[in-house]
Structure 1
Amino acid sequence: MDPSQTKIYNKHGFNSKVFLETYFSEKSTSGFREELLKFPMEKCHQACVSGDIKGDLLIDISIGPVVHHLYPMCGLFKDILLFRFMERCIIELRKWRNAHDEAFDWTHISPTMTELLGDSKQWELKDALLKSKIKQVVKCHTEKENLTDPLQLPQADCMTTAWILDTISTDKDTYMSNLRKIVKFVKPGGHLLLVGALEGTYYMVGNQRMHLFKYNENFVKNALAKEGFTVTQCEVLPSKVGTDLTDYKGKVFVAARKDK
């Protein structure tokens, strides 16, 4: 699909609350709950089980106000920074952190948390812990070489990124450029945990048709290798969602270590 026929997230934005309600709420289709909620949480948790992924700083750069993939791993880091591109998304995150009456409710992911951590009491503790670990939500700018310009921020022990490269990249060149800017924030020896949508061209938010960059798992593995990463884990979950809301064919999770 021609990207000019669709809206691009970092240029046009979308209604963050509608986005969350469509794909990440308790009312979402069962397929979305499996592929968009449970899969990233499980894979981030599994990647951290070995004990190699931990440290002082975790940076997350993801689409919209999504934070669910951070719950299973937030206790492994002293501080967390969130990088986000759109102001409406940042407003939604502030509502969530401040327990605003209109904040999106993530409690429906508590059964997955219980399954992963084996304790039904973990949800309340993890929710409070994650919010306390987030020290700053930083506005980003794709057109700048330093995404957080004028802020100069430290490199992270681990970086997580969910669906942002898919939605802000229009072709292979812009994907590589965006990836290069993102992984500059990972210190040598640090890790990147990436969640992406495979072979998709669009997703709907309300009546807006939003762009997805079409790629496969080999493309993203090769892209990371070019940026000095060794892929330590790559898993693909084929999509079973039959809907006109999006046309992606599967989800991919990649864990990689920065060697240089």
Structure 2
Amino acid sequence: MSSPATLDCNDDTTVFGLDTYLKHYYPDLDKSTSESLVNIFLLDSLHDIFNSVVGVSGNRLIDIGAGPCVYQFISACTKFNEIVATDLSKENQDAIQRWVNENADAFEWSQYVKYVCELEGHQNTVDREKEMRKAIQNVTYCDFSKKYPVGSSDSPLYDCVLTGFCIECIVNSQQQWVQYLNNASNLLKSGGWFVQLCMPADFYMIGDARMSCFKVDEEFVLKALKEAGFVVVKSYLTKHTSTRSYMNYEFTMVVLARKL
């Protein structure tokens, strides 16, 4: 899952630089930057979802198009025993695996972990990172365009499917958006939870490279989930009014839904 403009479902990080991408879109949580404010909104929303009274929990969670990120698992790892992180890009998969393995060259997420721990009323970030690493039991390949983005019709289903900033980076139409939601639903148990993070934009930049996206409004995001057979339980929205030369977007949205 993964960032305000993640490259989740493609290989653009390989071409244009994973380090450049992470440093730009995941800076320190200094509230003076636009990216930090977006990331704080995401952490707050995910904290609320995984600590809400509706009981978002279970045994297995999968993230389709996680990009090179792990922040989306900080709250989730306390509610799910097994997390599967997936991405189309091998470089993104390797970035997650380096963090899980505590490699010296792994991206540093400790400030994000610290922020969530403080939301929960404690500061035990070391234990939380251990809990995250224990929960992330598999980092593997996915393809959102497939009927089953991971595995097959015979594979065990998940209690929760999460996807962040992925669909808008790879679809070309509203019909395709709904189809990709249907593909995600095929991995989910009946009654299972679906969490979507999205920031539909016309484009975003990685360094000097301009990447295309598919832009929709917030009403369509909710409508598409319903068309794909989900019931929307709760949504979180933050508007963006300032102009950014590196990304054209108007809102960030986090939605909790449930499969009928």
What TM-score does the superposition give when structure 2 sets the normalisation length? 0.88
Aligned amino acid, residue 53 of structure 1: V
Alignment-derived partner of residue 83 in structure 1: 86
Residue correspondence of structure 1 range 86-101 to structure 2 within 5 A: 86-101=89-104
Q: CA distance change for structure 1 residues 71 and 11 in 2, over 3 Å: closer, same or farther?
A: closer
Partner of 1:225: 226
Matched, 1:50 2:53: yes
The answer to whether residue 204 in structure 2 is matched with residue 207 in structure 1 is no
- Of 68, 71, 80, the match for 1:68: 71
Q: CA deviation at 1:81?
A: 0.7
Q: 3-state SS of the aligned residue for 1:247?
A: strand
- Superposed counterparts of 1:193-204, under 5 Å: 193-198=195-200, 200-204=201-205
- Compute the displacement of 1:144 (Å): 3.1
Q: What count of residue pairs does the alignment treat as equivalent?
A: 249
* Cross-structure match for 1:253: 254
Cross-structure match for 1:144: 146
Structure 2 CA distance, aligned partners of 1:149 and 1:174? 21
Per the alignment, residue 109 of structure 2 pairs with: 106
Gaps of 5+ in 2: 1-6
Q: CA deviation at 1:56?
A: 0.7
Which residue is 1:3 aligned to?
Answer: none
Match of 1:163 in 2: 165
Amino acid corresponding to residue 177 of structure 1 in structure 2: Q
CA distance in 2: counterparts of 1:22 and 1:43, whole angstroms: 21
* Partners of 2:134 and 2:11 in 1: CA distance: 31
Is 1:61–1:160's contact at 8 Å kept on the other side of the alignment? yes
- Distance verdict in 2 for CA 1:191–1:9, change over 3 Å: closer
Partner of 1:175: 177
Structure with the larger helix share: 1
Contact in 2 for aligned 1:9/1:168 (Cα 8 Å): no
TM-score, length of structure 1 as denominator length: 0.88
Maintained 8 Å contact 1:85/1:139: yes
Over the matched positions of the two proteins, sequence identity in percent amounts to 22
What's the offset of the Cα at 1:143?
4.4
| Aligned-partner SS, 1:201 | strand
Partner-residue secondary structure (3-state), 2:102: coil
TM-superposed CA distance for 1:77, in Å, is 0.8
Judge conservation of contact 1:31–1:240 (CA < 8 Å) in 2: no
CA shift digits 1:215-240 (9 cap, x unpaired): 11111111111111110111210125
